[in-house]
Chain A
Amino acid sequence: DAKTTQPPSMDCAEGRAANLPCNHSTISGNEYVYWYRQIHSQGPQYIIHGLKNNETNEMASLIITEDRKSSTLILPHATLRDTAVYYCIVRVAPNTGNQFYFGTGTSLTVIP
């Protein structure tokens, strides 16, 4: 059970912001939201994670709603190299181990 719901695919114009939504309505208070992406069957690449507050790093921003039931990954200026499958993951609570349940992800296509 992946515990997250994402749209199967999205398009974004090159240079524009890509906003990828994720629903995690059953998230527990101590569970983190993680985002990874996978480019053409390479190993997934870590992007960002957060618990309650919004987070930003050199790759992206993560916006988590106040009730924590959904989040949005923002790629501020999408490039063609950002075309990938993006996975939103809720990390299972610490006492049960470090499992990551990957759903089907969102296939983002950046269009020139």
Chain B
Amino acid sequence: KAGVTQTPRYLIKTRGQQVTLSCSPISGHRSVSWYQQTPGQGLQFLFEYFSETQRNKGNFPGRFSGRQFSNSRSEMNVSTLELGDSALYLCASSFRLEETQYFGPGTRLLVL
């Protein structure tokens, strides 16, 4: 079974731009969570989706948003990029809520 895939793997943007990252969960998984990882803050929870509904949200500004499609694929969007948004963005999927999460390889975003 294929693992979680994330596209693109690397991305360079400039301040003020917006970016959309994509995540395809493991086949059959219906829950998708997103995390941001930076050297200073470590791994931080962004939000979680299940059956196209956001079930939980971390402590991030409204510039960070996401959605989930009927096929469980998910996207996250960051608008008005700031230098501090440079990070590794990780997606994780699980079969259901409250079950083991499996992570993708991440998208490394650099904001210049």
Q: Is the CB of A44 within 8 A of B90?
A: yes
Asked whether, in the complex, the Cβ of B55 is within 8 Å of the Cβ of A97, the reply is yes
Interface flags for B70-93 (1: CB within 8 Å of A; 0: not) read 000000000000000000101010
Assess the A98–B105 pair: CB atoms within 8 A: no
B interface, how many residues as a size bin?
20 to 34
Whether B43 lies near A102 (C-beta < 8 A) is yes
B98 touches A94 (CB 8 A): yes
B17 within 8 A of A: no
B45's partner among A34, A49, A87, A99 (CB-CB below 8 A) is A99
Known: A97-B97, A98-B33, A98-B48. 5 other contacts (CB 8 A): A41-B37, A43-B106, A49-B100, A97-B48, A97-B56
Count chain A residues whose beta carbon lies closer than 8 angstroms to a beta carbon of B. 22
Residues of A within 8 A of B (CB): 34, 36, 41-46, 49, 87, 91, 94, 96-105
Contacts of B45 in A (CB 8 A): 99-101
Tell me the bound Cα distance from A36 to B92 in angstroms. 12
Complex CA gap A46/B100 in Å reads 8
- Which of A46, A49, A99, A102 has a CB less than 8 Å from the CB of B42? A102
Residue B102 interfacial (CB < 8 Å): yes
A98 lies within 8 A of B55 (CB): yes
